[in-house]
Each structure stands twice: as C-alpha cells, then as structure tokens.
Amino acid sequence: MLRPSTTIPPREHGPLWRDPRVRAFVLQAVMLLVAVVLVILLTNNTLSNLAAQGVTTGFNYLSQRSGFGISQTLVEYSANSTYADAFTVGLLNTLLVAGLSIVTCTLLGLLVGMARLSSNWLLSRCATVYIEIFRNIPMLLQLLFWSALMMSVLPEFKKSYSLWGVAFLNKKGLVLPWVEFSSSTWPLWLALALGLVAMLVMRNINQYRVRRGKDGWPVRWLTLALIVLPPLVTFFCSSIHASLSLPKLTAFSSRGGIHLIPELVVLWLTLTLYAAAFVAEAVRSGLASVPNGQREAATSLCLPGGLTMRKIVLPQAMRVIIPQLASQYLNVIKNSSLGIAIGYPDLFAVYGITTLNQTGQALEIMATTMAVYLALSLLVSLLMNLINARMALKER
C-alpha cells in the first residue's frame, strides 16, 4: 500500500521563491526573528520603567545577609547566611518532599491499583472508595485537614509516643535513628555514580552480546555488585567512619537521630495520599489494557501468578502506565508549593515569599522561582520519556 509523502518535494526548476522548502525556511526564520525582537522590546521596556520608578534590578541581593532562620535545613544555614544560601535550603527542601512523595505514592498507587482489579469483592471496593475520596477533594483542603488532625491528636513533647525507645512522635515532629558520618561523604556518592555508569555500560554490552547470539551475563547479580561494591570498597578504604545515632529526649528537646518537622510529615502524607489515587487509576488502566488471553496463556503453561504478573502483564502494562505516571510526578513537584499553607519551608515559601518581602526584587525572584520549577519539570519529563522510549515496542 502506498502512503502519502509527509516531506516537502524539492524544487525541480523555476525561481527560488517557488521552492516550498525555501518558503518554509524563510517563514520560520521571520517568525523566530519577530519573537526575539518582541522579547527584547518587552525586556527593555520593563527595565526602563523600573529604572524610572527608582527600582534597582539585578541579583546583587543574593550576596546580602538574609537575617531570618529556617526551621528545616539540609545544609549548614543560620540567620547570618546569605539569600543565596536561603535559596539553596528552600530548593533542597522542595526536592526532599517531592522525592519522598514520588517514591511513596508510586508504591501505594501500585498496590491500590492492583487491589482495584482484585477478584476479592471487599478489597476491590475498599480500593475504589479510597480512590474516589482522595482524588475528588482538593489537595489544599486535605493538607489543612491532616495538619489540623495531627496537631489535635499528637501529644505534647513530654508525653511523646515512643516506638521501643528509638523513635518518638509528638507535636514537634518525628525523631528517628540516623547514621552519622565522621567526614564528608562525597567519595561515597562519587563511587555510587561511577557504579551506576558501569552498570549501564555492562547492560548495553550484554544486550549487544545477546543480539549477536552469544550467552548473556548474569545481569541481576552484576547490577547488584556494581551498585553496592564501589561505595562499600570506598568506605572501608577511606578514613570515613559511620555511627548509628539514636535519639534521646531531654527536658525540652531531643538529641541525636534525625528530626522531621511536623510540616514535612503532613505535606509528605498529603502528597502521597493525593497522588497515589491518580497513580492507582493509571495502574488499573494499564493492567486492564493487557488482553486476558495473555494471562490465560500463562495459566495454561502453569506459570505462577506472581511470575505472570512480573514477567508478562506488567511489562506490557507499563507502556500505558508510564506516560500517566510522568504527569502525576510533575503534579507532585508543583503541588509541593502548597506547603506554604502549613508553613513548610520549601523554595516558594523561603525564596518566593520571605526573600521577596525583604528585598523587594519581585521580578528577579519570581522569574527565578518559575525557572526552577520549569527546570525540575522538564528534567522529570526527560527521564520519563527516556524510560518510555526504552519500554516502547520496537517496530522493524
């Protein structure tokens, strides 16, 4: 069957302006030039108006002293730090809650999505009720509800809930055991990154060998060894020492361990429950897209249910699930900015609100904040597109 050509035919004879390819190139060049000129005019006009009103522009404020504290910092920070340090703290807090929520909502959504299709009537209905409740209530309302519930249910500091004396929960947050290192851990992270690169190279070489008809390597064990062994070897060969820090409660505070502020716990819980409802529907639609004949064929071969799900159903369902997962991951990153409603110190709260109110550099700060969220979303989209391309069917 002949298919219509989607390319523009080349010019055979006649003047240059009659060539469709030349006309298309000139038209696109003119449109791009007009867009660039409009952006330059808009920028110059904005800067001129700001200068006329006596408003200073630029990013010199980043080196000035911030003068305010932040309740949760993953790096060293104090009121004497600069606005650039405050920006870094806010960005890390955003990455922390978004990363934790993406992991937990994926796991919870996978379980709920599989329960939605279960033959167990009660389990299936419970999954349906969960999905309909959490995806049909605005996330901001859920956030305020969980925050109010936690503040009213949790005990005061002196009456903390204790889990075998190693973890404590109260209105000040959650305190958990933590591993402390004697010095900087960048050699361990570098070894882990090199191990991941070696793992990718090994898998590509193994695929090339299999395509050439040679025996494949034990990829699973080699992957585990390349990820685990480099950090372990680096740790034992370096002067880095690790110790388990157990939390202990004193009269007014806690010592040791890691302290998670209640705002982080509430925002993490809300993002997980809200996004997991949508992830569960994505999982359900992906599993339902696999023909029943696939499962029946696996059953006729006496394959166990778990092996059938892991090797036959899920690989085909992932082609439907991954594009929807990408959208939900982007929503998690953007919805993390709602943490300002309960006082979570993320990028928007620390940099987009507090720093803006103190410096008055509204244009620079809002443009930077939007650029950061845009960059994070594009990075997640790129990674998910790469995974989707790897899972897609290859037509010959």
Give the CATH number for residue 313.
1.10.3720.10
Tell which wins on pLDDT, 92 or 231: 92
Element housing 135 (H / E): helix 121-135
Structural domain count, the chain: 1
Domain that holds residue 305: 83-154+262-390
Confidence of residue 336 (pLDDT cuts 50, 70, 90): very high
Are 365 and 351 within 8 A, CB to CB?
yes
Q: Decide: residue 156, CB within 10 A, 0-12 exposed, 13-18 middle, 19+ buried.
A: exposed
Is the residue at 28 inside a domain?
no
pLDDT confidence of residue 161: 83
Residue 332 lies in a domain: yes
Query: What is the C-alpha to C-alpha distance for residues 137 and 147, in angstroms, rounded to an integer?
Result: 15
Q: What is the pLDDT of residues 238-279, one digit of tens each?
A: 777 777 888 877 777 777 778 888 899 999 999 999 999 999
Q: Which long-range contacts (CB under 8 A, 24 or more apart) does 100-104 make?
A: 100/268, 101/267, 101/268, 101/271, 101/272, 101/275, 101/332, 101/336, 102/275, 102/329, 102/332, 104/268, 104/272, 104/276
Within-domain flag for 313: yes
Which residues, listed in sequence order, are joined to residue 254 by a DSSP beta bridge? 249
Residue 269 lies in a domain: yes
Q: What is the pLDDT of residues 39-70, one digit of tens each?
A: 999 988 888 888 888 777 788 888 999 888 88
**Cα–Cα separations (whole angstroms), residue 189 to 182, 199, 225, 252, 307:** 15, 15, 16, 36, 34
Query: Considering the domain boundaries, does residue 37 fall inside one?
Result: no
Task: Note whether residue 256 is domain-resident.
Answer: no
At residue 379, the pLDDT reads 94
What is the pTM (predicted TM-score) of this model?
0.79
pLDDT of residue 165: 77
